[in-house]
Amino acid sequence: MNRILHIIFVAVFGLLVFSACEKQAKYEFSVDCTVDPSFARDSVSLWILDEDYNRPLLLATDNNSESRFSLKGQIDRPALAYLKFNNDSSQFFFVLEPTTISIAINTGNVIINGGNGNRQYASFIRQYKNVLNRILSNNRQYVKLVCDSTLSREKERELAQRDSTLCDSLQRMVVNAINQQGPVAQIIRQRYFHALDSAHISNLHD
């Protein structure tokens, strides 16, 4: 009986140790930034959204005003991250992974390279812009025909149907991306949720 209890104790203890070690595993990351000189700053901080507690968690800070800087640390899994400058409300979202992420920040433009998550997000942006440009092109065609007084009822129905189809496609694209879960989905929800109508919001997973 004592031998059986001993075996059970050793097995349970081993599982607890393994679980603790697995939970504490950390992987190094580096966020290398280049900031346009016109973008004045005195400090920058790197934050992630802690999924366990659903709250922001500060990972690293830099307190110099140079145009190039690096923020380094450790994480145990990919996470939704953002940079804050001078405690400003403006935030630059990206996926932080255990690798080197390069970020170039210019006036009105942010370029992020590195990590599978950021590549997935960039792919989503390209597809989104492609459909959005088709919607805008369709609208420009409608306006031109109206201005030229050459818009027939048949053409108007055709353009309206195309607009409806493209808008639905755009919203379904957002819904499908958000339903994938994970850091990329969190960024897409953060940036595009407001553009969804109630019918498409109802298709989001809890």
| pLDDT for res 24 | 54
Q: Is the pTM of this model over 0.85?
A: no
Q: Which residue, among 22, 77, 80, has the nearest Cα to 46 in the 3D structure?
A: 80
> What does the block give as tokens for 80?
């939704």
Write the CB contacts of 171 (distance below 8 Å, at least 6 apart in sequence). Answer: 195, 196, 197, 200
pLDDT band at residue 52 using 50, 70 and 90 as cut-offs: low
What whole-number distance in Å separates Cα of residue 108 and Cα of residue 112?
Answer: 14
Q: Indicate the domain borders of the chain.
A: 26-114, 117-201
Is the pLDDT at 173 greater than 50? The verdict is yes
CA 173 to chain centre: 15
What whole-number distance in Å separates Cα of residue 17 and Cα of residue 58?
Answer: 28
Lowest mean pLDDT among 42-51, 74-83, 86-95, 161-170: 86-95
pLDDT band at residue 158 using 50, 70 and 90 as cut-offs: very high
| pLDDT for res 86 | 77
pLDDT digits (tens, 9 = 90+) for 81-97: 988 887 666 677 899 99
Is the pLDDT at 13 greater than 60? The verdict is no
18-27 long-range Cβ contacts below 8 angstroms, 24+ apart: 23/76, 24/76, 25/76, 26/74, 26/75, 26/76, 27/74, 27/75, 27/76, 27/98
Q: How large is the average pLDDT for residues 161-176? A: 96
Judge whether 69 and 43 are in contact, CB under 8 Å: no
Tell which CATH architecture fits domain 26-114. Answer: Sandwich (2.60)
Is the pLDDT at 162 greater than 80? The verdict is yes
What whole-number distance in Å separates Cα of residue 142 and Cα of residue 135?
Answer: 11
pLDDT digits (tens, 9 = 90+) for 179-194: 998 889 988 988 899 9
Is the pLDDT at 101 greater than 90? The verdict is yes
What whole-number distance in Å separates Cα of residue 60 and Cα of residue 44?
Answer: 9
What string of H, E and C letters represents the secondary structure of 140-174?
A: HHHHHHHHCCCCCHHHHHHHHHHHHHHHHHHHHHH
Residue with the two structure tokens 């590195």: 114
* Mean predicted lDDT score pLDDT of the chain: 83
| pLDDT for res 125 | 92
Write the CB contacts of 9 (distance below 8 Å, at least 6 apart in sequence). Answer: none
pLDDT band at residue 143 using 50, 70 and 90 as cut-offs: very high
What whole-number distance in Å separates Cα of residue 57 and Cα of residue 49?
Answer: 6
